Amino acid sequence: MILAAAIALIGCSKEIQYKTVEVVLQNASMESNVAGDEAYNFLNEGFVGFKTDAEDRGAAKAFFGTDGNLSMQVKVNANATQLWAYTKGAISKVQTFALPAETWFSEIADFSSMVYCSKAATIAGQDKVTAVVEGITAGVRLQIVDSRGDLAGKPVKSVTIESTDPENPLIGNVSLNFTRPGISAITDGKAEVTVHTMTADNANSTLSVGTIAEPSEVGVVVLPCTFKGKVTVVGDGFSFVKEINTPIALQAGFIKTLTIDAATASTAAKLRVGVIGDSISSFSGIIPNGYKAYYPKSDCDVDKWTKTYWGILINEYWDAELDVNCSWSGGCVAPGVSGKTEGSDFVTRCTDFVKPDVILLFGGTNDAISSNGVALGDYNYDLPFGSLNTNCRFRDSYIAVIKAIHANYPEAKIIIILGDHVTGEYATSVEEIAKHYEIPYVDFRDDKNVTKYSGSHPNYNGMKYMAKKIYEETQDYLFN
């Protein structure tokens, strides 16, 4: 009896019937828009997503046929009446397209990952239908040039497109609801797209400044919007900004070409660099009056501040300007050290800056000298600045310096330099504190390339090496 009932139930089950439909993909008629922008051709061979009103979801390979049409074969529920085709996004009931979308670094801008969705195609009783696809995202082609020719051929580090209108974001999430045709929501907008240049594993991903005759181009996919903002181009030793004050329509399915000419753009404000250190970072006439300097020396080739590691970074690598160098020869990070001048410690000096964009923090050598009697102290990360016991305690003082910088200069980026004469647990403490605060540190421990003038003090070659290493290890942190 039980077996017979089970067989009866199985016999009553209804199998889903499927049918195969050929879907021909066709661009919507968009030869141009009123602004004269270039209409994008979405018809490329490859996998295309599809969805039906009978809950079919999947992807099929689209091919160009002998008739020149792009088509694909899809297997769908025989009861399905409508079908949508789309690119990008996960295959699920509600498609989400996560942007910022991809960027490209070729001499010819590539927009192959622009997003489209078709209008609903009626497939009831049909074995071949046409799905008309329309763009969801917009393309921006940036032409980076210098009509004067001064910067032509120079490599570009980054390009930033920034909207100044929060109501019209450049990027965000596009949500498609396939229970009805078209776009149902555009949400979670952000205001900036950043394009980076060559990476070590992609030697072809280069971008350099071009000329009017041969512009360098980069393509970016964004959400359609009315754009008002600025484009910033940063390269080796240069930067310039193009202000877009008249709103520009970035229309779905179209590519807007913007020429960014260094000759007519404004020069971006220079990076302001603050320095806090001991003798290695000091230079007479540059540090504040009353602070003790080590450099220059009559028999040392570091005879100009531009020959120090920080001077080389400012003038040769970053094209920056000095904010304040508040270094003190012989100074410890910790206050209260016997024999040291009051105020020579880092805790007291770390708020001497004006408006720094980046602060070079280079200390610990004198704290690690046993005769100074500076204890290691504790990692009291959770204590407020005023509650830290900094008196002759290294860890507490180092943490206090970082807390004070963060409180007084919240926009400044810190670079920690770990010198080759910071030893033992003092060096380990600097490393641990840097990791805790996620601050990059440049490690010169046991680095024999830091050539010396005397003792722990680098000569010009040593300074040049230090500057180069600091630049190479921190440029992504500062400029990307």
Q: Looking at the chain, which residues constitute the CATH 3.40.50.1110 domain(s)?
A: 272-479
Round the CA-based radius of gyration of the chain to a whole number and report it: 31
Cβ contacts of 285-290, under 8 Å, gap ≥ 24: 286/322, 286/325, 287/325, 287/326, 287/327, 287/328, 288/324, 288/326, 288/352
Transcribe 273-331 into DSSP letters.
EEEEESGGG--TTTSPTT-------TTSS--SGGGSHHHHIIIIIS--EEEEE---TT-
Query: Can you list the pairs that 379-383 forms with residues at least 24 positions away whose Cβ atoms lie under 8 Å?
Result: 379/429, 379/432, 379/433, 379/436, 381/436
- The residue ranking higher by pLDDT, 424 or 93, is 424
Chain segment 160-212, per-residue pLDDT in tens: 888 888 777 777 666 655 544 445 555 545 567 777 654 444 444 578 899 99
Q: Which of 41-45, 50-54, 79-83, 358-362 is predicted with the least confidence, judged by mean pLDDT?
A: 41-45
Find which of 45-54, 96-105, 163-172, 337-346 is predicted with most confidence, using mean pLDDT. Answer: 337-346
- Higher model confidence: residue 91 or residue 466? 466
The pLDDT score that the predictor gives to residue 121 is 92
Residue 239's nearest CA partner among 211, 214, 268 is: 268
Looking at per-residue confidence, does 407 or 201 come out higher? 407
**What pLDDT is recorded for position 239?**
83
For residues 35 and 224, the answer to whether their CB atoms sit within 8 Å is no
272-479 has which CATH code?
3.40.50.1110
Least confident of 153-167, 208-222, 378-392, 455-469: 153-167
Tens digits of residue pLDDT in 332-388: 999 999 999 999 999 999 999 988 999 999 999 999 999 999 999 999 999 999 899
- Residues 77 and 16 sit within 8 Å (Cβ to Cβ): yes
pTM value is: 0.58
**Range 89-116 average pLDDT:** 51
pLDDT greater at residue 98 or residue 237: 237
pLDDT bin (cut points 50, 70, 90) of residue 436 is very high
Residue 169, pLDDT score: 74
pLDDT, residue 49, reads 86
pLDDT-derived band at 261 (thresholds 50, 70, 90) equals very high
